Chain A
Amino acid sequence: MNIRQSVGATRYLGERTPRKENARLLTGRGQFVDDVRVAGALHIAFARSQVARGRIVSIDTSAALDLPGVQAVYTQADFADVPVHFLNYFFTPILAPVTLLADGRVACVGEAVAMVIAESRAIAEDGAALVEIVIEEETPLVTLADAKRGPPVHPGFDDNIAAEMGDEDSILALKDMLKGAAHVVSQRIAHQRIAQSPMENRACLAIPDGAGEMTIHLGCQSPHLAARVLAMSLGMEPAQLRVIAKDVGGGFGLKNIPWREEIATVVAARKFGRPLKWIEDRFEALTASSHAREQDITLTAGFDAEGHLLGAYAEYDSNNGAWPMGEDANIAVHMFMWPAYKLKAYGFVTRGWYTNTMGLGGYRGPWAMESLIREVLLEKAAKQIGIDVIEIRRRNLVTAADQPFTSTLGITVDDITTDACLEKLVAHLDLPKFRKEQAEARKQGRYLGIGFAAYIEPTGSAGSMQPMTGETAQVRIEPTGKVVATLSTHSQGHGTATTMAQVIADRLGVKYEDVAIYEGDSALGAFSPGAGGSRQAVIAGGACWTAAENLADKVRTVAAHVSNASVEAVSIVDGMVHIDGAPEMSRSLREIAEIAYGEPHRLPPGMASGLESQFRYQPPPMTMTSAAHACVVEVNPDTGFVKILRWCSAEDCGTVINPGIVEGQIAGGLAQAIGQVLLEDMPYDAKGNPLAATFKDYLMPAISDVPDFEYLHANTPSQTTGGMRGVGEGGAIVGPPTLVNAIADALAPFGTLGETITLPLTPTRVLGVIEGRDLGGHGETAAAVVEEAPAPVAAAPVAAARIDGSYAMTMKTPMGDQAMTGHFRTDGSALSGELESPEGSQGFTGSVEGNRLKFDLKVEKPMKITLKYDLVVEGDSISGKVKMGMFGSSKISGTRV
């Protein structure tokens, strides 16, 4: 890192610089979607299904249309001529047959069935209430257990498996391996469903500007990503859409990509030819916005006698709901469970399941279950093995000496400091003193507990998945000497205008006040996915860093040229350009800018006029942040209430641009973690009704639920330009295990939290542990899981099936459909043949049983893997699956050629 500033310059990196965004947000001058006024805009309200599953018999819109002020009522039939390709965050198609409005069937309560367009939102809502929807009800599948045994949520699908990865064999192998282990510890966690609940609900204002053109004000996490996804979904050119999102009241993953209602608003505005505004209300936000987190995991780990990890295996299920914003088996849970620990072997099966509930969406640290289950299991194991909870981590964490270290699933870490963060935390806390207090308190009938958790957070991902790219910074010094940067960052509270201005001011040598940041508009800057994956400080920070330094170089070159000095002698400090040893030759940046813009003949020969710099930064593929947290709780044994007494975070997010903003990110995530562990719950009843319809039912953490957080910053620079590491999701990832462990520690005199920990740990559930019996409590229905394996795809025994021949086949993969041709020859029970694909042709041998073909193919690319085909021929059609090791299985179908 080349620090070019002279001594005496105002440094902004690392300062608690007050936020630029505050001036408007504190004075009521923010511009959230609903604040934007457009002449002639009409308002949208949706009539939604109150039935979880069934066939739509009729939709009667006449009463709604008769209401004065209602201008139109649309159903899916009205959009039938508009092809919409729903995409997930990774630009791959949604597999479920999702449409803008319900198409013939409903698959969850809250699904939009009709759209009412009216002169005011109130009239639109009145109109929506007048739409008569008749549905022939079917029994809904609500829980994961329901999904495993019930008829497919989506007609025509084989089962309710939305996504699947991993391999049962890998679990069997691990079970075998751990047979002789000194200690084998298991833990199951049933995680409740979360409503992301940003304070500003979803919102969209679509303004048809002219033929094929649209300006869209959208509650989103990146205008560029939203514009790109909208354009791809609607078959438009990105330039036909301009997405503006000046202020957005929280995103947290919910607003990753535009979803059904937002896209429907855009489509309807084109169709109706007037600006249309949809502002979601809180009832809709809670019950009909995508949800998150409902999942169930069982992790088993084996240890040697000293507590060293030997191996582990996990079974994981995620409730994807009916219309997930991307079918998801949450492979990231397994990928990020162990890279910070010296685990030798791991096996898993992971699945996402369709149910008749609201679909799965993103939420801060979507893979957070890895830390929750691992850290809870480790403390349970420590107690079982009889070693200290810190000691078990010391024996297993990857240290500096172990790095680079590659996990069993291929994640390499080479600069993590989890162990150092933990030591820092332990040193700060005085654990022996706490243990003494805890023992004293117990004698008085008071139950204190301390919990720890350590983790790494993968941040700043770029270059390995479609939307996760680098960032462009365009920085210029205006003729006035003031600095303007156009960026593709986006803040839903992140304060990117602040942090990016700090980086630019610091690297350029100007005053923070003199840097203006433009962001939040897809028409400005280059493509970036904005907020998502804790990436902006890392990547946009690096882009601003280099763009500003390059611009400083140009200023220095110009100043040297006009002053007849050497470039090395020029420095820029607080907007003044100085020449070493010639204080009388100091000029303001404005003077240099006036030359660069107005008197280009005075520039060095060949130099472009103006003072502009553009740089696109491509960081390393991933940057790891490390942290360890601890919290202290007191559990009231009479009421089951948990009071958090203390919370301490030791995190290493590299170069800290602004500690106030870093701490704000950690704190926000921790408050959400506290909500998840103690309060928040979106339960469904057996009929598929979401039960938390207001903030009186859905308990959000209040100021009284959240203690003061203490922060210990370690600042090990990362390998990125500037050395930043991301910090956006960590609190929400590490918070839950920290708190669960503290509660478990407090309740230790009464026993463990049990084989299954069901979240949230409500007072009723805590009393259940204290009293040693199940006291029930809401949310139990959704959490109860009956293990039942999905029925295997059975091949009908058909005598002397006609198999030999060639088949044109299509394999469905997350990356889209792949075509291939299969040639099969049978000889009794022996099978041979070739598979032809664009990559080439490969021969195989296998077996035949009736009309069922089984064969294996070994491939080398993209990695060594054995593909296990299992196909059934019926007449001229062929169908079945191919298992692709840990990548799960794909469906195959085709016909004889």
Chain B
Amino acid sequence: MSETISRATVAMTVNGRRHSAEADARTGLGEFLREALGYTGTHLACEHGVCGACTVMVDGVAMRSCLMLAVQADGCEVTTIEGLAAPDGTLHPVQQALHEQFGLQCGFCTPGVAITLAAVTRDNPAATVEDMEKAMSGHICRCTGYQGIRRAIRQLAGEVPGPHGGEHA
């Protein structure tokens, strides 16, 4: 129970800025980013590792922040959705593709989707549609029926030109 829970100071770099804050040993990374550091762009939608909404990059690797403790990320470099666009506001190609291809509706799943696709395309700039769809299969989106996300993936893989490059009948 709470009174016996140990606390620790957790320090990490988030989107290039240094932070440190107190956390319970049991506090998840996602909760820590949201509650202690104010990065509310990371969304917790299942808190049991299935939906992918909470995905952030930890030392360059896409991680489910609901399945990782804040203390495990001590000393790490974290990238959240807030840090994906360039400092001048230019959208990351993944954000741009999702924007142009109607890849989001309510936007609750979107931060995780964008981080995963950004991680895949960064690890492998030649990532294929298949590679990206496979990575996407670990994300749940209740709104879009995945059509816009799939078009964004095709755009990222260079299979369709920018916006309106449709497969519309």
Contact = CB atoms under 8 A, between A and B. Distances in A.
Given A34-B40, A695-B46, A702 B82 contact: no
B164 A493 contact: no
A679 to B, nearest CB: 11
Contact of B137 (A201, A672, A703): A703
Interface in B47-76: 47-48, 50-51, 53
A122 interface: yes
Interface string A617-660: 00000000000000000000000000000001000000000011
Interface string A250-294: 101000000000000000000000000000011000000000000
A659 B168 CA distance: 10
A600 interface: no
A249 B169 contact: no
A706 interface: yes
Given A22-B99, A26-B114, A706-B145, A200 B106 contact: yes
A249 B41 CA distance: 13
B100 A494 contact: no
Contacts of B82: 27-29
B91 to A, nearest CB: 7
A667 B2 contact: no
B48 A664 contact: no
A282 B102 contact: no
A710 B168 contact: yes
Contacts of B110: 25-26
Contact of B51 (A69, A661, A695): A695
A816 to B, nearest CB: 36
Most chain A CB within 10 A, of B100, B108, B137, is at B108
Contact of A252 (B98, B104, B142, B163): B142
Contact of B140 (A123, A200, A700): A700
B46 A27 contact: no
B78 interface: no
Interface stretch (A13-21, A53-61, A85-93, A515-523): A13-21
Contact of A250 (B34, B41, B106, B146): B106
A708 B42 contact: no
Interface string B101-117: 01011111111001000
B3 interface: yes
A18 B106 contact: no
A791 B161 CA distance: 66
Nearest to A658: B102
B143 A250 contact: yes
A601 interface: no
Given A198-B142, A668-B145, A671-B146, A28 B40 contact: yes
Interface string A278-317: 0001100000000000000000000000000000000000
B92 to A, nearest CB: 9
26 contacts: A16-B163, A22-B98, A26-B99, A26-B107, A27-B82, A27-B91, A29-B82, A68-B2, A69-B2, A199-B45, A199-B53, A247-B106, A250-B143, A282-B45, A282-B46, A492-B106, A661-B102, A664-B143, A667-B147, A694-B48, A702-B140, A703-B146, A703-B150, A706-B145, A708-B150, A708-B167
Interface of A: 16, 18-19, 21-22, 25-30, 32, 34-35, 37, 67-69, 122-123, 126, 197-201, 247-250, 252, 281-282, 428, 491-495, 648, 659-661, 663-664, 666-672, 694-696, 700, 702-704, 706, 708-712, 731
Given A32-B43, A250-B106, 20 more contacts: A18-B99, A18-B163, A22-B99, A22-B107, A26-B99, A26-B107, A26-B110, A27-B81, A27-B91, A32-B108, A68-B2, A199-B141, A250-B105, A493-B107, A663-B147, A664-B144, A696-B50, A702-B138, A703-B133, A710-B168
